[in-house]
Chain A
Amino acid sequence: MRRWLLWLPLCAFGVIVAVVAWGLYRPADRTVYSRLVGQPLPDFTLAPMVQGKPGVSSADFRQGTPRLLNVFASWCVPCIAEAPHLMTLKAAGVPIDAVAINDKPDAVTRFLRRNGDPYARIGDDRHSRLQLALGSSGVPETFVIDARGRIVKQHVGDIRAEDVPILLQTLAAAK
């Protein structure tokens, strides 16, 4: 056997280690993105969450204007952080509907009183069924739905000040 061949196993091992080390130290983006982006919104009808505000159904999103669908919960801390930015979007004339995940009417009413109420409708998704159907992995998440009821963008995590203009652009393009 040739001498240099004997070093081959070490080289192969070196390659494996390099791959593994890179996998270990790379900045990991473990965000779960929905496969439904670009697809029509699944059919659903959710009962109203709070008194005096209607529930949400998929039919509401095919009325010719793009809308935001915000997935939130009263028990979620980042949802409090994004509340002012949702109010900014509302002030800019964006219609926003919401799905409250795993929540109670009293708690949601209190949350809205404290943090402001940007929502046109709020649906009750007590067992996260719609959330799972949307391919959403947590709260808060915001979906941009175009005029024909298709999901054009999924925003994972809370909306920050710098996200507001991007969302407005996407909405304008989704008409």
Chain B
Amino acid sequence: MTAEFGLAALWLAAALAVLQCALATLGLARGRAEAFGAVRAAAVVQGALVAAAMAALIACFLASDMSVALVATNSHSMKPWLYKLAGAWGNHEGSMLLWVTILGLAGGAVARFERRLAERTLMATLGAQAAIALGFYAFLLFASNPFARLDPAPADGAGLNPLLQDPGLAFHPPTLYAGYVGLSVAFSFAVGALVTRDVGPVFARAMRPWVLIAWTFLTLGITAGSYWAYYELGWGGWWFWDPVENASLMPWLAATALLHSVSVLATRDGLRAWTVMLAVVAFSMSMLGTFLVRSGILTSVHAFAVDPARGSFILALLVLYIGAALVLFALRIGTVRQGTPFDPLSREGSLVANNLLLTVILGIVLIGTFYPIVAAAFGTQLSVGPPFFDSTAGPVALLLVAVMAAGPLMRWRREDGEALLQRMTWPIAATLAAGAGVFVLAGPIRPLPLAGIALAAGLAVASLAPLARRNLRRAPLFLYGMVVAHLGIAVSLAGMAASTAFTRETLAAVGAGEPVRVAGYSVTLDGVRPVIGDNWTALEARLSVLDDDGARFVLRPQVRYFTDPVTSTNESAIATLAGGQLYTVLGAMGEDGRWQLRLWWKPFVTLIWLGGALIALGGILSLVGHVLRERRQRRPVASEVPA
């Protein structure tokens, strides 16, 4: 029954999306204001219905209802409950339903809470939102029904890919999807504003919270995904430039650019056309990301079910939405009035530079990701990997960091070069000191990591500078948001550069009792024994670690064997220590009875994810700060001057 209820709710939600889209179009075309209330109501109810459908699917998974085909192929009654829950979106159909659920909820929230925008613009926005949702409803109902039944029902399910049996999975896709969908709301706002030619500060302030939400979730999703790949894949790396990783990085880059340009539009009424363009680009990148992941046209560690029919469907949606938005952009943006002008050397100017550099990085990642397909068209098989991305995106990213350090210290409209240089004294000093310090202590290292560490120090100092000589208790919350986020970038960059420059790796075949050395640690294999888990068995090594100061601890890396379906995974064992992480992986046993051990010493590597968390925290602070300020300003006695 639950499955039928879910399917019915999904159909009803789709019907409401049709209604919402049609009413918005009619209301706009005929200038009928009374349609407006109905559009809002439809959006709210549609959100509730699709949420009910998702709840029904989750119920099916939790109850292990094997008569539902999706449950049977992706779950197993013996799985722990958390993975049954996560199984609901650990597959194609379920993840698309989750996508459209978040979309529906976001649409409902816009309809319920948005009070600043002109009615016509909001109506156009909700119409666009319904049109997007409609495409995904059609996709679910006609091409990938999550509630399809199996008759007869199998005795038990096929299980979930063991790599995905990890608490990380429970949160990784919902986080990324919330990010993607937040960008779809920004996209709908942009389309709405283009339809009514209403691009201005009000539009920017309405859009900003959604961009901030999307950006914060994307940051969290990427950070968590990176850590997951780091400890679960057992390859010791934190970023592989894998197509699917790039698929989440590209929307993040676009969202970061959008976040900054929307601030210029909200505070200074500049960058009108550019902001609209970025909103469209950011959503196209998330659609393109969804497409990449779902169509499987690029080989990736994320081995999802590959199905060209589904790929075609998403591609068709992509062409429809983005194509229509770009046509609208080309036709309408010329008629949008130009915003306020500004000097190249100014806060606005630095934000434009930030946007251009982010766009360049986005372009590099886009080209690198799709180049294998282009090359294949000319008959060459190749893959584009870290050497390309590191050497191209790396320097641009460092340049961006330099701009990022200077930008917040500039004034709006026009900046005096000498005064700026004076304010930059400490950051520049920190950069030079850190660079020289590393050079003296560690000797010559590669230029890119060296520049990374030096700039990270400079950025850390510069990011705190906007708080200098301010009353810390009266500084607005969104200012703290910016400070924390920029500091997070500095922390993360320091971790990336330091771990790249100073990682030590040892690969050895050892018998019991033989010590291996890596960095300042001596690792001894005590023995290997079998262990049994919930739905796996494993060989577990006991490694005694002795550091040079005499401290001892034990690590237990495993090779796990899963039976449903048959697979094995390497469970790394990681010790987080003061200066970094000791990362150990157990390999196979050789013919001579010795075990392969892979050991890494990764100094400061934890800073990467700590920085990621700080960046997301900055996003949250900024979001709360802006929302609070808007609420205060809506009161009649608002007296605050824009910062």
Question: Quick check: B329 and A24 within 8 Å, CB to CB?
Answer: no
Question: Quick check: B329 and A9 within 8 Å, CB to CB?
Answer: yes
Question: Quick check: B376 and A9 within 8 Å, CB to CB?
Answer: no
Instruction: Please give, as numbers and ranges, the residues of chain B lying within 8 Å of A1 by CB-CB distance.
Output: 273, 334
Determine whether B521 belongs to the interface, using a CB cutoff of 8 Å to chain A: no
Using A9-B330, A23-B376 as known contacts, list a sample of 8 further A-B pairs with CB atoms less than 8 Å apart, ordered by residue number in A: A9-B280, A10-B330, A16-B370, A22-B373, A23-B298, A24-B311, A24-B315, A25-B308
CA A1 to CA B334, docked complex, whole Å: 8
Instruction: Please give, as numbers and ranges, the residues of chain A lying within 8 Å of B308 by CB-CB distance.
Output: 24-25
Question: Quick check: A10 and B311 within 8 Å, CB to CB?
Answer: no
Question: Quick check: B377 and A17 within 8 Å, CB to CB?
Answer: no
Instruction: Please give, as numbers and ranges, the residues of chain A lying within 8 Å of B377 by CB-CB distance.
Output: 19, 22, 26
Residues 1-31 of A at the B interface (beta carbon under 8 Å):
1, 3, 6-7, 9-10, 13, 16-17, 19-26, 30
Question: Quick check: B329 and A19 within 8 Å, CB to CB?
Answer: no
Which 4 A-B pairs give the minimum distances between C-beta atoms?
Answer: A23-B373, A10-B326, A6-B330, A23-B297
CA A19 to CA B298, docked complex, whole Å: 12
Please tell me the size bucket of the interface on B. Answer: 20 to 34
Question: Quick check: B373 and A9 within 8 Å, CB to CB?
Answer: no
Determine whether B186 belongs to the interface, using a CB cutoff of 8 Å to chain A: no
Please give me the residue from chain B that is nearest to A11 by CB atom: B326
Determine whether B181 belongs to the interface, using a CB cutoff of 8 Å to chain A: no
Query: With contacts A23-B297, A24-B311 known, is A13 near B329, CB below 8 A?
Result: no
Query: With contacts A17-B315, A19-B370, A24-B308 known, is A10 near B327, CB below 8 A?
Result: yes
Pick 14 A–B contacts, CB within 8 A, sort by A. A1-B273, A3-B334, A6-B333, A9-B326, A9-B330, A10-B323, A13-B323, A19-B370, A19-B373, A23-B370, A23-B373, A23-B376, A24-B312, A26-B377
CA A1 to CA B338, docked complex, whole Å: 10
Instruction: Please give, as numbers and ranges, the residues of chain A lying within 8 Å of B373 by CB-CB distance.
Output: 19-20, 22-23
CA A10 to CA B319, docked complex, whole Å: 10
Please give me the residue from chain A that is nearest to B281 by CB atom: A9
Question: Quick check: B376 and A7 within 8 Å, CB to CB?
Answer: no
Instruction: Please give, as numbers and ranges, the residues of chain A lying within 8 Å of B370 by CB-CB distance.
Output: 16, 19-20, 23
Please give me the residue from chain B that is nearest to A7 by CB atom: B330
Instruction: Please give, as numbers and ranges, the residues of chain A lying within 8 Å of B334 by CB-CB distance.
Output: 1, 3, 6
CA A25 to CA B315, docked complex, whole Å: 12
Nearest chain A CB to B519's CB is how many angstroms away? 30
Instruction: Please give, as numbers and ranges, the residues of chain A lying within 8 Å of B326 by CB-CB distance.
Output: 9-10, 13
Binary A-proximity of B273-314 (CB < 8 A = 1, otherwise 0): 100010011001000100100010111000000001001100
Question: Quick check: A20 and B297 within 8 Å, CB to CB?
Answer: yes
Nearest chain A CB to B341's CB is how many angstroms away? 14
Determine whether B322 belongs to the interface, using a CB cutoff of 8 Å to chain A: yes
Instruction: Please give, as numbers and ranges, the residues of chain B lying within 8 Å of A6 by CB-CB distance.
Output: 329-330, 333-334
Residues 495-509 of B at the A interface (beta carbon under 8 Å):
none
Nearest chain B CB to A163's CB is how many angstroms away? 22
Please give me the residue from chain A that is nearest to B299 by CB atom: A30
Determine whether B26 belongs to the interface, using a CB cutoff of 8 Å to chain A: no
CA A101 to CA B281, docked complex, whole Å: 50
Please give me the residue from chain B that is nearest to A2 by CB atom: B334
CA A123 to CA B318, docked complex, whole Å: 53
Determine whether B374 belongs to the interface, using a CB cutoff of 8 Å to chain A: yes
Question: Quick check: B330 and A13 within 8 Å, CB to CB?
Answer: no
Please give me the residue from chain A that is nearest to B591 by CB atom: A129
Instruction: Please give, as numbers and ranges, the residues of chain B lying within 8 Å of A30 by CB-CB distance.
Output: 299
- Could you say which of B291, B298, B377 has the most chain A C-beta atoms within 10 Å of its C-beta? B377
Query: With contacts A9-B277, A13-B322, A16-B370 known, is A24 near B297, CB below 8 A?
Result: yes
Instruction: Please give, as numbers and ranges, the residues of chain B lying within 8 Å of A17 by CB-CB distance.
Output: 315, 318-319
Residues 309-364 of B at the A interface (beta carbon under 8 Å):
311-312, 315, 318-319, 322-323, 326-327, 329-330, 333-334
Please give me the residue from chain A that is nearest to B277 by CB atom: A9
Please give me the residue from chain A that is nearest to B308 by CB atom: A24
Instruction: Please give, as numbers and ranges, the residues of chain A lying within 8 Å of B323 by CB-CB distance.
Output: 10, 13
Instruction: Please give, as numbers and ranges, the residues of chain A lying within 8 Å of B288 by CB-CB distance.
Output: 16, 20
Binary A-proximity of B574-607 (CB < 8 A = 1, otherwise 0): 0000000000000010000000000000000000
Instruction: Please give, as numbers and ranges, the residues of chain A lying within 8 Å of B311 by CB-CB distance.
Output: 24
- Could you say which of A9, A16, A19 has the most chain B C-beta atoms within 10 Å of its C-beta? A9
CA A13 to CA B334, docked complex, whole Å: 19
Instruction: Please give, as numbers and ranges, the residues of chain B lying within 8 Å of A9 by CB-CB distance.
Output: 277, 280-281, 326, 329-330
Please give me the residue from chain B that is nearest to A45 by CB atom: B591
Please give me the residue from chain A that is nearest to B331 by CB atom: A6
Nearest chain A CB to B338's CB is how many angstroms away? 9
Query: With contacts A6-B333, A6-B334, A24-B311 known, is A19 near B327, CB below 8 A?
Result: no
CA A1 to CA B336, docked complex, whole Å: 12
Residues 114-169 of A at the B interface (beta carbon under 8 Å):
127
Nearest chain A CB to B462's CB is how many angstroms away? 33
CA A23 to CA B319, docked complex, whole Å: 15
Residues 356-384 of B at the A interface (beta carbon under 8 Å):
366, 370, 373-374, 376-377
CA A19 to CA B375, docked complex, whole Å: 10
Instruction: Please give, as numbers and ranges, the residues of chain B lying within 8 Å of A22 by CB-CB distance.
Output: 373, 377
CA A20 to CA B311, docked complex, whole Å: 10
Instruction: Please give, as numbers and ranges, the residues of chain A lying within 8 Å of B297 by CB-CB distance.
Output: 20, 23-24
Question: Quick check: A20 and B333 within 8 Å, CB to CB?
Answer: no
Instruction: Please give, as numbers and ranges, the residues of chain B lying within 8 Å of A3 by CB-CB distance.
Output: 334
Please give me the residue from chain B that is nearest to A20 by CB atom: B315
Nearest chain B CB to A124's CB is how many angstroms away? 12
Nearest chain B CB to A75's CB is how many angstroms away? 13
CA A19 to CA B292, docked complex, whole Å: 12
Instruction: Please give, as numbers and ranges, the residues of chain B lying within 8 Å of A16 by CB-CB distance.
Output: 288, 366, 370
Query: With contacts A13-B323, A13-B326 known, is A21 near B333, CB below 8 A?
Result: no
B284 touches which one: A13, A21, A23, A24 (CB < 8 A)?
Answer: A13
CA A24 to CA B323, docked complex, whole Å: 19
Nearest chain B CB to A38's CB is how many angstroms away? 16
Nearest chain B CB to A11's CB is how many angstroms away? 9
Please give me the residue from chain A that is nearest to B372 by CB atom: A23
Question: Quick check: A26 and B330 within 8 Å, CB to CB?
Answer: no
Nearest chain A CB to B256's CB is how many angstroms away? 19
Instruction: Please give, as numbers and ranges, the residues of chain A lying within 8 Å of B299 by CB-CB distance.
Output: 30
CA A16 to CA B250, docked complex, whole Å: 14
Nearest chain A CB to B407's CB is how many angstroms away? 25
Binary B-proximity of A45-64 (CB < 8 A = 1, otherwise 0): 00000000000000000000
CA A7 to CA B315, docked complex, whole Å: 21
Question: Quick check: B291 and A20 within 8 Å, CB to CB?
Answer: yes
CA A19 to CA B367, docked complex, whole Å: 11
Binary B-proximity of A73-95 (CB < 8 A = 1, otherwise 0): 00000000000000000000000
CA A76 to CA B312, docked complex, whole Å: 34
Question: Quick check: A19 and B374 within 8 Å, CB to CB?
Answer: yes
Please give me the residue from chain B that is nearest to A8 by CB atom: B330
Nearest chain A CB to B621's CB is how many angstroms away? 33
CA A16 to CA B297, docked complex, whole Å: 14
Nearest chain A CB to B205's CB is how many angstroms away? 25
Instruction: Please give, as numbers and ranges, the residues of chain B lying within 8 Å of A7 by CB-CB distance.
Output: 330
CA A109 to CA B546, docked complex, whole Å: 51
CA A30 to CA B300, docked complex, whole Å: 13
Nearest chain B CB to A73's CB is how many angstroms away? 15
Instruction: Please give, as numbers and ranges, the residues of chain B lying within 8 Å of A19 by CB-CB distance.
Output: 370, 373-374, 377
CA A6 to CA B333, docked complex, whole Å: 8
